[in-house]
Amino acid sequence: MKLQCADSESKDCVLALHKFIKPLLYPRKSASKSCWDHPFECFIVLHALREDGTFKEPKGVQDLFSAMFHHIRSAIFYEALITVEKFDGDLLRYVDH
């Protein structure tokens, strides 16, 4: 998937970014129950890992969680907007579906 959107409408760019990031942020079902099956958890671990093989203190990764909270919330909100558009803005039709 191309994420270059210089010649595209902004709505197309946002949708492309959403399709790219949604699988990374949403929970996944895993048969192995390993945290390594979850890209978001792997990202957190790698972000907290120092060059010497130790991990940062919790206060050292707080900024990551703050930023990711907003990304996850935005992804969920955008997914809701997409869903509402499929039902012509009628949430009741969606619930009855």
- The model carries a pTM of 0.65
Residue-wise pLDDT tens digits, 19-74: 888 888 877 777 777 767 788 888 888 999 999 999 999 888 888 888 888 988 98
What's the domain count of the chain?
1
- Residue 1 in any domain: the answer is no
Tell me what pLDDT residue 5 has: 55
In 3-state terms, what secondary structure has residue 26?
Answer: coil
- Listed in sequence order, the DSSP H helices in 4-61 are 10-25, 39-48
In 3-state terms, what secondary structure has residue 49?
Answer: strand
Residue-wise pLDDT tens digits, 66-85: 888 898 898 888 888 888 88
Domain that holds residue 77: 10-27+34-96
- Residue 15 in any domain: the answer is yes
